[in-house]
Amino acid sequence: MQKFTTLTGVAAPLPMINVDTDKIIPKQYLKTIERTGLGKALFDELRYNTDGSEKPDFVLNQPAYRKAEILVAGENFGCGSSREHAPWALLDFGIRAVIAPSFADIFHSNCFKNGILPIVLPADTVAQLMDDARKGSNARLTIDLASQTVTRPDGQTVHFEIDQFRKHCLLDGVDDIGLTLKKETAIAKFEDRRKQAQPWL
C-alpha cells in the first residue's frame, strides 16, 4: 500500500449527499478482483451517457478536474453496500483523499485499508473547502497527515481528527496484512519452537 504523508493537489467539488457505493462504482463492475482498471468506471452513471460519451457537466469530466487527487463531498459519502471496489475505483482514478462531513462506516474503514485518507470536518468547513474547490485547478489544497491539517489556497489551515492507529498505518503504508508481515520473523521463530515442542501438531 502506498504511504500517505503529504498531498498537494486539485480538489474536485461533489456537492451531493448520500453518494452510495453503487454511484461510486456500479454493480456490473464488481466481477473483478483486481484493484486496477476501475478508475475508468468511477461514477459511471454520473460521468457517461448510455452511448459511452462523457457528460460534460460532471465535475471529473471538466478539464480542471481530470487529474483531481482530492474529492470534497457531501454528508454520508460511501453509504449503501459494503463493496471494497468503491475505494479501489477512487484510488485507480487518482483520488487519494476524500473530505466530507460524514462517511458510511464500512466505506470509511475500507478507505484506510486501501491508502485513501477520509477526512471528517464540520459541514461549514467542508462548505468553505467546496468553494475553494470550485475555483478550479489553480486552487490547490495541501493535506499533511502528520500534522493533521488541510491548508486552503489562501494559506488558512484547518485541523482534522483521525484515529492514531489508522494514521500510523497510512504514514507507514501498511494494511492489515502488511502489519502482520512486519512480525514475519517473530512468527517464523514461534512456529519453529512449536514444531520442536509439539511435533505431532
pLDDT digits (tens, 9 = 90+) for 21-57: 999 999 998 888 777 899 999 999 999 999 999 999 9
Task: Name the grid cell of 103.
Answer: 462517511
What is residue 82's predicted lDDT score, i.e. its pLDDT? 85
Task: Name the grid cell of 138.
Answer: 489553480
What is residue 193's predicted lDDT score, i.e. its pLDDT? 77
Choose the weakest-confidence range: 53-57, 58-62, 180-184: 180-184
Alpha-carbon span 25 to 194, nearest angstrom = 46
Please give the domain boundaries of the chain with CATH numbers for all domains: 6-173 (3.20.19.10)
What is residue 89's predicted lDDT score, i.e. its pLDDT? 97
What is residue 19's predicted lDDT score, i.e. its pLDDT? 98
Q: Please list, residue by residue across 80-107, b when 16 or more beta carbons sit within 10 angstroms of its beta carbon and e when fewer do.
A: beebbbbbbbbbbbbbbbbbbbbbbebb
- Sequence-distant (6+) residues with CB within 8 A of 62 are 56
Q: Output the 3-class SS for 54-108.
A: ECCCCHHHCHHHCCCCEEEECCCECECCCCCHHHHHHHHHCCCEEEECCECHHHH
Does residue 190 register a pLDDT over 80?
no
Q: Residue 201: pLDDT band by 50, 70, 90 thresholds?
A: low
| Three-class secondary structure of residue 118 per DSSP | strand
Alpha-carbon span 11 to 13, nearest angstrom = 6
What is residue 113's predicted lDDT score, i.e. its pLDDT? 93
Q: Which one-letter DSSP state was computed for residue 77?
A: B
Does residue 128 register a pLDDT over 70?
yes
* Cα angle: 30, vertex 31, 32; to 5 degrees: 95
Bigger pLDDT: 200 or 85? Answer: 85
Average pLDDT over residues 5-12: 98
Q: Residue 198: pLDDT band by 50, 70, 90 thresholds?
A: confident
Average pLDDT over residues 81-97: 95
- Sequence-distant (6+) residues with CB within 8 A of 182 are 174
Judge whether 7 and 129 are in contact, CB under 8 Å: no
Bigger pLDDT: 119 or 33? Answer: 119
- Sequence-distant (6+) residues with CB within 8 A of 67 are 9, 10, 94, 137
Chain-wide mean pLDDT for the chain? 92
Task: Name the grid cell of 112.
Answer: 484506510
